Amino acid sequence: MPPLASPLTPVVVTGGGSGIGRASCLALAEVGRPVAVWDRNGDGAAETAARCAEAGVAVHAAEVDVRDEAAVRAVVADAIGALGAIGGLVHAAGVPMGFTADDLGTEEFRLVLSVNLEAQAVLVRELLPALRAANPGSAIVGISSIEGLIGHGNIPAYTASKHALIGLTRSLAARLGPEGIRINAVCPGYIATPMFLPTVEGNPETRARFERAIPLGRLGEPEEIGRLVRFLCSDDASYIHGTALVVDGGVTAVGGQEYTPR
Using CB under 6 A as the binding rule, whether residue 67 contacts ligand NAD is answered as yes
Smallest gap from Cβ 223 to ligand NAD, in A, equals: 11
Chain residues 92-131 in contact with ligand NAD, contact rule CB under 6 A: 92-95, 115-116
Handedness of CA 71, 73, 77, 83 (dihedral sign): positive
- The correct pick among 9, 138, 159, 193 for binding ligand NAD (CB under 6 A) is 193
Is 158 one of the catalytic residues? yes
Pick from 34, 44, 156, 249 the residue near ligand NAD by CB under 6 A.
Answer: 44
Burial environment of residue 80 by CB neighbours within 10 A (0 to 12, 13 to 18, 19 or more): buried
Asked whether position 19 contacts ligand NAD by CB under 6 A, the answer is yes
| Amino acid, res. 94 | G
Residue 15 near ligand NAD by CB under 6 A: yes
Q: Helices (DSSP H) in 135-216: which residue ranges?
A: 156-176, 197-200, 204-212
Q: Rg for the chain (alpha carbons), in Å?
A: 18
d(CA 20, CA 237): 19
DSSP 8-class letter at 128 = H
Q: How far is the CB of 10 from ligand NAD (least distance, A)?
A: 18
- Is there binding between residue 188 and ligand NAD (CB under 6 A)? yes
Which residue ranges make up the site for ligand NAD (CB under 6 A)? 14-15, 17-21, 39-41, 44, 65-67, 92-95, 115-116, 143, 145, 188, 190-191, 193-196
